[in-house]
Amino acid sequence: MPHDHHHHDDDHHDHDHSVLPSDPALRVKALETVLTQKGLIDPAALDAIIDTYQNRIGPQNGARVVARAWSDPAFRARLLADATEVVAEMGLYGRQGEHIVAVENTPDTHNIVVCTLCSCYPWPLLGIPPGWYKSDAYRARAVREPRAVLAEFGVTLAEGQAVRVWDSTAELRYLVIPMRPEGSEGMDEDALMALVTRDSMIGTGLARAPT
Ligand code: FE
């Protein structure tokens, strides 16, 4: 699949969806049954794929990258220079994340990630995108009025802190390195990981303060 943006062509067909059963789980189960009966899919292979996306691919991967960047200046420098290579070394290369760029929040600059065309997102690092990330409102407003969007997520930027909005594509996806919270000095990587939220790596949140 060379490009992810084809599904925009379908926007005018939304009305067709109303005639289908409303419960997505029911529809998925029905599809799975039909495809299995026809011998087109192997339920064991399907279980393995679902296990991957439910249990092994998720924001904990990105959190590990961020915690290491906070802990290890040499790693951080390499991550900012070539994130794709660094995350591949960590075994985090995969579909929907072939080219990753890490962008770092600083006291001067806050970064926020969007895909204005659809929903491109760094799956191997953050898992499946949340619903709001794919919404028309977020995609349009993150670019037009990022500060208002951030405020709605509960993020108030410091006076004079600039906002940079990064527009993802199928070819290029972004990971925000949030600022390391005050009070986290001396915490090890595992403890730091717990401070790194999914939203902080999209830029719609900040890292948690240690309790
Ligand atoms: Fe997209």
Q: Which of 63, 108, 69 is nearest to 208 (CA)?
A: 63
Task: Round to whole Å and give the CA distance between 85 and 62.
Answer: 14
Task: Tell whether pTM > 0.85.
Answer: no
What does the pLDDT read at residue 159? 84
Ligand 1 center–CA 89 separation, angstroms: 25
Q: Residues 80-101: pLDDT tens digits?
A: 999 999 999 999 888 777 899 9
Helix H or strand E encompassing 173? strand 173-177
Answer yes or no: is pLDDT of 6 > 60. no
Among candidate residues 18, 22, 71, 120, the one labeled active-site is: 120
Active-site pick, 22, 115, 168, 184: 115
Catalytic residue among 18, 22, 71, 119: 119
Return the pLDDT at 23. 80
Q: How far is the CA of 58 from the centre of ligand 1 (A)?
A: 18
Catalytic option among 18, 22, 71, 118? 118
**What would the mean pLDDT of 22-51 be, rounded to a whole number?**
84
Give the best-scoring range by mean pLDDT among 11-15, 70-74, 155-159. 70-74
Q: How confident is the model at residue 144 (pLDDT cuts 50, 70, 90)?
A: very high
> In the predicted model, is pLDDT for residue 54 greater than 50?
yes
Active site residue 18: no
Whether 29 has a pLDDT exceeding 50, the answer reads: yes
Give residue 93's pLDDT.
82
Highest mean pLDDT: which range of 43-52, 96-105, 140-149? 140-149
Across the chain, mean pLDDT equals: 88
Known catalytic membership, residue 118: yes
Please determine, for residue 103, whether its predicted confidence score (pLDDT) is greater than 60: yes
- Is the Cβ–Cβ distance between 190 and 139 less than 8 Å? no
- Identify the pLDDT of residue 121: 94
Query: What average pLDDT does the segment 159-187 reach?
Result: 95
Cα of 167 vs centre of ligand 1, distance in Å, is 9
Q: From ligand 1's centre to the CA of 128, what distance in Å?
A: 13
Q: How confident is the model at residue 21 (pLDDT cuts 50, 70, 90)?
A: low
- Of the candidate CATH numbers 3.90.330.10, 3.20.20.70, 3.90.1860.10, 3.10.310.10, the domain formed by 58-202 belongs to 3.90.330.10
CB atoms within 10 A of CB 73: 9
Give domain limits for the chain: 58-202
Distance 134 CA to ligand 1 centre (A): 9
CA 4 to centroid of ligand 1, rounded, Å? 6
CA distances from 67 to 31, 39, 140 (A): 40, 44, 31
